[in-house]
A and B are shown apart, each in its own frame.
Chain A
């Protein structure tokens, strides 16, 4: 599907999501995923000199492709909420695939050129973050979501505040604590984070 055709559909889905229709979100996921893959593949073909494609830049570019620029900010917020989630899944799948391959078993889950340019040495760290975020979500879902939006979606404090419908100062405060907690979690996993790749 061409991005231009998707725009109208995405606009409808975002409006539905804002009304609380959860089915709309599950319809939006494959559209976002498809567009991200398309953009990532195009970047790879063009072989940019720095050879890197930042995941969060890709999220923003997907937004520009799929969302009409005059949409209401709440639709914008809904979009980034979904896009950050999709990016998290893509990266985590990829990191798992990399670690599996390193251990000599199985195939890579997501081909590199179809996902994002990714530093393989970060695989363990990325999975450790993902698992810590799942633990954080058990007792503070909002903090976990803030980290997801900022880390995997590349949102600023202000953007994350809009997505969650809270004030930027609350995001900043939650962010400080989530960051301090995550730091401790990653530090305590230390040398055996590679084990986290086992599923």
Chain B
């Protein structure tokens, strides 16, 4: 799936992405598809939220670390 180009993102649709992403993140992983199906009517916006949720999963210990401490976070810039 192609990333949304930054030019396609507006503060308005980003607010919608943010709200869906954050609500989905509070759910168990297996509940998320049903939640998005129910709450997201725009397919491209929905795909973007799914992509971001997958990234959140993949990012794991990678950059930038999820629960970063000053030490591991700054390891990139030393």
Contact = CB atoms under 8 A, between A and B. Distances in A.
B78 A52 contact: yes
B34 interface: no
Given A56-B70, A177-B22, A183-B55, A139 B14 contact: yes
A60 to B, nearest CB: 8
A147 B68 CA distance: 12
Chain B's interface size range is: 20 to 34
B64 A179 contact: yes
B56 A139 contact: no
Nearest to A50: B78
A124 to B, nearest CB: 12
Contacts of B9: 138-139
B6 A135 contact: yes
A45 B48 CA distance: 49
Given A140-B11, A177-B21, A154 B64 contact: no
Contact-residue size bin, chain A (C-beta under 8 Å from the other chain)? 35 or more
Nearest to B66: A179
B54 to A, nearest CB: 8
A182 B77 contact: no
B48 to A, nearest CB: 9
Nearest to B5: A135
B75 to A, nearest CB: 8
A53 B77 CA distance: 9
A147 B73 CA distance: 11
A161 interface: no
B68 A122 contact: no
Contacts of B10: 139
